[in-house]
């Protein structure tokens, strides 16, 4: 591929937080074993079948992999199932691009640049929704942060701001930032004073929420810039910040309030687009009226999750690009040494 010397895809044109990358290793010794022993194919047939093989999107993006796939952070990984080393291991790189207005053009440009011949790349589109995308984003964030290093709180805030407003150069804003504070002097945007970054109450509140969501399974409650908080304490703060009024949450029951907040965080993806934001606020207000009637009935049973139809989600298209180049090369070389 003289025309394409770069192996890594250049994803720098995509707004931050819109692309998730996954790497899955596949053991050719195991896969060959499966094709010959379990499926009973002759070695030659097995190899030509394997060449056509591509794992499912679930297999490529799941955090719990099954033979012949595995994940490894090691520099010289070995197959956990059979112990095979480098020569037998191939890599699938998958990137998942969130379908939005801001990613359409860079996605088309990227696909145009990729070699089309020989199934080196596979393109799969899947339907998803804003909520699933949001939780996948949170999950990726959790995996990439070291929760034992307390600077993660600032890092999580930055990641959130990057997702919220991709037009600002947050890397530059955050270069010297060591602390993030709430400031009621500002209503929008941000302010920096030396190592301190000041955020308006609403955005600061959302940063706390993200921190809570990232760390809540890690410890009792969730860890935030305001210390360890239970859901109730977090909601109390958000109410005090005026955040709940601002996003039109009229519910009182913590579980319902939480659901509404998640809906809001997940739904306002194109944060920078003011027009669509105000549309969404209207939608949220309408439905909150409806569900406030229901809330009086459900108040008794505190743990009842909200009915699925009460949750507003937006349809989101996910565009997967699977890089099969390493796999094809490894299959070829393994076959060459075998035949």
Q: Are 79 and 88 in contact (CB under 8 A)?
A: yes
> What is the biggest distance separating any 2 CA atoms in the chain, rounded to whole angstroms?
73
With respect to Zn ion, which residue has the nearer C-beta, 190 or 327?
327
With respect to Zn ion, which residue has the nearer C-beta, 79 or 267?
79
Instruction: Map residues 100-129 to x or -, x wherever contact with Zn ion holds by CB under 5 A.
Output: ------------------------------
With respect to Zn ion, which residue has the nearer C-beta, 26 or 213?
26
How near is the Cβ of 336 to Zn ion at its closest, in Å? 19
Residue burial 38-68, b: 16+ Cβ < 10 Å; e: rest: eeebeeeebbeebeeebbebebbbeeebeeb
With respect to Zn ion, which residue has the nearer C-beta, 33 or 270?
33
Continuous H helices in the chain = 28-33, 43-52, 57-61, 101-113, 130-144, 152-164, 170-174, 201-215, 231-240, 243-246, 254-267, 274-298, 325-338
With respect to Zn ion, which residue has the nearer C-beta, 27 or 322?
27
* The one among 27, 153, 199, 311 contacting Zn ion by CB under 5 A: 27
How near is the Cβ of 59 to Zn ion at its closest, in Å? 15
Does 30 engage in binding with Zn ion (CB under 5 A)? yes
Cα–Cα distance measured from residue 126 to residue 138, given in angstroms and rounded to the nearest whole number: 19
How near is the Cβ of 325 to Zn ion at its closest, in Å? 21
Cα–Cα distance measured from residue 294 to residue 282, given in angstroms and rounded to the nearest whole number: 19
Strand partners, 92: 24
Instruction: Map residues 51-90 to x or -, x wherever contact with Zn ion holds by CB under 5 A.
Output: ----------------------------x-xx-x------
Footprint on this chain of Zn ion (rule: CB under 5 A): 27, 29-30, 79, 81-82, 84
């Amino acid at each position: 591929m003289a025309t394409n010397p770069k192996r890594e895809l250049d994803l720098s044109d995509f707004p931050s937080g819109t692309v998730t990358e996954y790497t899955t290793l596949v053991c050719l010794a195991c896969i060959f074993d499966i094709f010959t022993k379990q499926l009973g194919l002759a070695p030659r047939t097995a190899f030509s079948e394997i060449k056509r093989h591509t794992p499912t999107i679930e297999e490529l993006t799941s955090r719990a992999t099954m033979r012949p796939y595995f994940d490894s952070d090691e520099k010289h990984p070995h197959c956990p199932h059979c112990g095979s080393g480098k020569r037998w291991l191939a890599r699938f790189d998958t990137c998942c691009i969130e379908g939005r207005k801001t990613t359409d053009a860079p996605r088309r440009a990227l696909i145009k640049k990729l070699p089309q011949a020989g199934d080196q790349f596979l393109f799969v589109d899947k339907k998803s929704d804003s909520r699933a995308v949001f939780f996948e984003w949170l999950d990726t964030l959790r995996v990439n942060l070291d929760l034992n290093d307390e600077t993660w709180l600032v890092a999580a805030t930055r990641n959130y701001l990057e997702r919220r407003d991709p037009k600002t150069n947050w890397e530059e804003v955050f270069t010297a930032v060591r602390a993030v504070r709430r400031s009621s002097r500002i209503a929008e945007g941000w302010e920096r004073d030396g190592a301190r970054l000041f955020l308006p109450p609403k955005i600061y509140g959302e940063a706390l929420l993200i921190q809570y969501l990232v760390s809540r399974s890690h410890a009792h409650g969730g860890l935030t810039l305001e210390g360890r908080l239970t859901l109730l304490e977090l909601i109390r703060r958000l109410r005090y910040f005026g955040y709940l009024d601002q996003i039109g949450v009229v519910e009182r029951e913590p579980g319902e309030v939480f659901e509404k907040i998640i809906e809001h965080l997940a739904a306002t993806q194109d944060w920078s687009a003011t027009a669509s934001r105000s549309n969404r606020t209207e939608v949220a207000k309408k439905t909150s009226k409806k569900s406030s009637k229901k809330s009086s009935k459900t108040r008794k049973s505190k743990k009842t999750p909200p009915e699925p139809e009460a949750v507003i989600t937006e349809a989101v298209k996910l565009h997967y690009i699977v890089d099969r180049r390493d796999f094809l090369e490894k299959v070829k070389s393994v076959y060459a040494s075998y035949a």
